[in-house]
Amino acid sequence: MGKLSANRGVYMQRKERLWVRLKKDIKVNYLLYLLVLPGLLFYIIFCYVPMPGVLMAFEDYQARSGIFGSTWVGLKHFTRFFNSYYFWVLIKNTLRISIYNLVVGFPIPIIFALMLNYLNHKRLKKTVQMVSYAPHFISAVVICGMITMFFNKDTGIINQVLERFGGEATNFLAKPELFDDIYVWSGIWQEMGWSAIIYVAALAGVDPELHEAAIMDGATKIQRMIHIDIPSIKSTIIMLLILQFGSVMSVGFEKAYFLTNSMNKSAANIISTYVYEVGLIDRDFGFSTAVGLFNSLINMILLITVNKISRKVADEGLF
């Protein structure tokens, strides 16, 4: 009992001291506080004020009564979502696209960086690198416009070339089974150069003495790649892999939104487009927020799990 109150005393004292210190600091450094103020206000208004809004996921939101006055309905929106026809469709589509993207899209920039690293022609190396970043800066609208135009059944260049070689014109974008391929591979085209930058930088930092020793021992380039380069950039790879896992459930909105049409909708419906449709088109605020909240919870759980696994297996993690 006495110990507790003593602790409390120390705590109060500390708190008071902090307050005094803060007051003093504000007096001395008031200009720094002034500088920080606009940015801080932004975070409070646009990040922290909306946060209690997640409560909407548990209530029948009425604009008149506000977030704290609307009727509490518990997990109603969640059970409705879990029991709806869309639930499994959305989960399947989202997971299928993002796992495909992870399995193919993650190793390719690493391989690309490794190959660039062993390219003997300096000029070609520079050119390939510079050209490979360029697609990263093209907007999703333009990329998807190019895709719809190139793959058009009658006028698309891909089909025209196919036909010339005796193939048959296909309406690629109308086929749900091809949606994933188009989505993932166009993403790889757009991002592989950009994602490779970080690996190229990491490879540049590999100790050249290791390579010299390996060459003396008669190691081939492929052997050096496997035994020197990959182990040296392992921590970079793991860090980026964990980050990727953290966003497995958030497949980009814009591309899916642009590439969806009435024919491929069964494969293109993903969680982020659904949240938008239900929320802003149908104005079902509570339900939409519930779906969004469910999504970010899964992401967070995945991030923490993968981080833990990587801590155990590779002794490396983000946090």
Partner 1 sequence: MKGIVKSRVEKSYSDTIFDVVNLGVMCLLLIIFIWPMWFVLIASFSDPNQLWLGNVIFWPKGFTLEAYEKLLEYTDIWIGYKNTILYTVVGTLVNLILTVTLAYPLSRKDFLPRKLIMIMLVITMYFSGGLIPTYLVVKNLGMVNSFWAMIIPGAISTYNVLVVRTYFVNSIPNELHEAAKLDGANNIQFFGKIALPLAKPVVAVVGLYYAVGHWNDYYTALIYLYDKEKFPLTCFLKNLIIDTSTAMQGSFGSSASEMESMIRLAQSLKYSTIIVAVIPMLIVYPFVQKFFVKGVMIGSIKG
The smaller minimum CB distance to partner 1, of residues 4 and 51, is found at 51
Q: How many residues bind partner 1 (CB under 8 A)?
A: 87
Q: Considering the complex, what minimum distance in angstroms separates the CB of residue 34 from partner 1?
A: 8
Residue from 151, 172, 183, 285 that binds partner 1 (CB under 8 A)? 285
208 binds partner 1 (CB under 8 A): no
- Nearest distance from C-beta of residue 9 to partner 1, angstroms: 23
243 binds partner 1 (CB under 8 A): no
Answer yes or no whether residue 19 interacts with partner 1 by CB under 8 A: no
Q: How far is the CB of 126 from partner 1 (least distance, A)?
A: 11
User: What are the angstrom distances between the C-alpha of 85 and each of 78, 88, 93, 284?
Assistant: 13, 7, 13, 17
**Binding residue (CB under 8 A) for partner 1 from 124, 213, 226, 314:** 124
Check residue 122 for interaction with partner 1 (CB under 8 A).
no
By CB atoms closer than 10 A (0-12, 13-18, 19+), residue 294 is buried
Of the candidate residues 177, 216, 218, 262, the single one contacting partner 1 (CB under 8 A): 218
In whole angstroms, the minimum distance from the beta carbon of 316 to partner 1 comes to 15
* Interface with partner 1 (CB under 8 A), residue from 10, 20, 40, 226: 40
Which of positions 56-115 make contact with partner 1 (CB under 8 A)?
A: 56, 67, 112, 115
| The two structure tokens encoding residue 85 | 């026809």
Nearer to partner 1 by Cβ, of 10 and 36: the residue is 36
Q: Which of 78, 86, 87, 276 touches partner 1 (CB under 8 A)? A: 276
103 CB neighbour count, 10 Å cutoff:
10
* In the complex, least distance from residue 48 CB atom to partner 1, rounded to whole angstroms: 8
CB count in 10 Å sphere of residue 169: 14
Of the candidate spans 82-90, 93-101, 124-132, 176-184, the one that interacts with partner 1 by CB under 8 A turns out to be: 124-132
Strand 71-72 versus strand 59-60 pairing type: antiparallel
The distance of closest approach from Cβ of residue 3 to partner 1 in the complex, given in angstroms and rounded to an integer, is 29
Q: Which is nearer to partner 1, 98 or 195 (CB)?
A: 195
Spatial CA neighbour of 147 closest among 109, 185, 194: 185
| Near partner 1 in 129-168, by CB under 8 A | 130-135, 137-142, 144-146, 148-150, 155, 157, 160-161, 163-164
